[in-house]
Chains A and B, each alone.
Chain A
Amino acid sequence: MRKWALRILFFMLFMLMSYSVLQMPGDIGLDSPAYNEATHHYIEESLGETGAINIIASILTDYRAFDTLGETIVLFTSIIAVISILRPSAKPEEEEAPTDG
């Protein structure tokens, strides 16, 4: 019973997803929402505003510098998490000391 309820739920979710994919704008070229005035602004103004001839670099570290800062913080957090789990303890003898209590 529970299995069938789950199957029906997932099928309905699948239909919803398929419907939303069909509603996406397809091959409409210049009319697509992603091709808006921001693209023109980056292409035409980024050299004067940032001085970098690599538009990708100017987007990454000037227009979207907060995003890159977030990526750097993600790297920092991930390395702290890995080290806190995997780094060998400085005093392994103390960990096995009193376990009975």
Chain B
Amino acid sequence: MDDIIVKSITRIIIPFVQLYGIFIILHGHVSPGGGFSGGALFGTSLILYTLIFGVDKAQKKFSHRVSEIAESGGILIYLSIGVIGIFTAGYFLSNKAAGFPLGEAGSLLSGGMIPLLMIGVGIKVASTMVTLFHTLIMEERL
């Protein structure tokens, strides 16, 4: 899209959208939101970048290599946190029994494994949205 207004506005709002997405992911246990909604926000900002600046520049920011790592990394974070529970408590995905510090309720560092799982889910959802969009766009070009 070759419009100076749209490009400038997009450059201004993308950092805020991404910051808000990360905020929602990290504060999933103390405020409404969580991994899915925050990841969707973050992915939407990258989709906006692709729409405005074209898929070639977006591929430089979020290449297939990065998407491979993010796709498998998100689910591996989730699974490895679950496996910690097997060794410490005897049950997969156990939170308090596995020895995760619960912290002070209401603060950012609370909830044991919940924020860590939210980070994994957020990475997964964001990268899924972007990868689906990029794959569909690249397919159209062929």
A binds B: yes
The answer to whether B96 and A49 touch across the interface, beta carbons within 8 angstroms, is yes
Residue among A47, A51, A52, A75 having the largest count of chain B Cβ atoms under 10 Å: A51
Whether A57 is near chain B, meaning CB under 8 Å from some CB there, is yes
The answer to whether B111 and A72 touch across the interface, beta carbons within 8 angstroms, is no
Main secondary structure of the interface of A (DSSP, over half): helix
A contact residues vs B (CB 8 Å cutoff): 47, 49-54, 56-58, 60-62, 65-66, 68-69, 72-73, 75-76, 78-79, 82-83, 86-88
- Cβ of A72: which chain B residues have Cβ within 8 Å of it? 74-75, 78, 120-121, 124
Please, how many angstroms separate the alpha-carbon atoms of A24 and B105 in the complex? 40
Residue from B71, B117, B132, B136 in contact with A76 in the complex, judged by beta carbons closer than 8 Å: B71
The answer to whether B114 and A57 touch across the interface, beta carbons within 8 angstroms, is yes
The answer to whether B102 and A50 touch across the interface, beta carbons within 8 angstroms, is yes
Given contacts A62-B95, A79-B128, whether A73 and B75 have CB atoms under 8 Å apart is: yes
How many residues belonging to B are interface residues under a CB distance threshold of 8 Å?
Answer: 41
- Cβ of A54: which chain B residues have Cβ within 8 Å of it? 28-32, 34
Given contacts A54-B30, A69-B78, whether A83 and B121 have CB atoms under 8 Å apart is: no
Add 20 more A-B contacts to A51-B111, A68-B117 (CB < 8 A).
Answer: A49-B96, A51-B29, A51-B102, A51-B110, A51-B112, A51-B114, A52-B114, A54-B28, A54-B29, A60-B34, A62-B113, A66-B92, A69-B93, A72-B120, A73-B75, A75-B125, A76-B72, A82-B132, A86-B138, A88-B138
Which 8 pairs, one residue from A and one from B, show the smallest C-beta to C-beta distance? A51-B102, A52-B111, A52-B29, A65-B93, A61-B117, A86-B139, A57-B29, A51-B111
Given contacts A69-B93, A83-B135, A86-B135, whether A75 and B128 have CB atoms under 8 Å apart is: yes
Residue from B32, B93, B102, B135 in contact with A66 in the complex, judged by beta carbons closer than 8 Å: B93
Whether B90 is near chain A, meaning CB under 8 Å from some CB there, is no
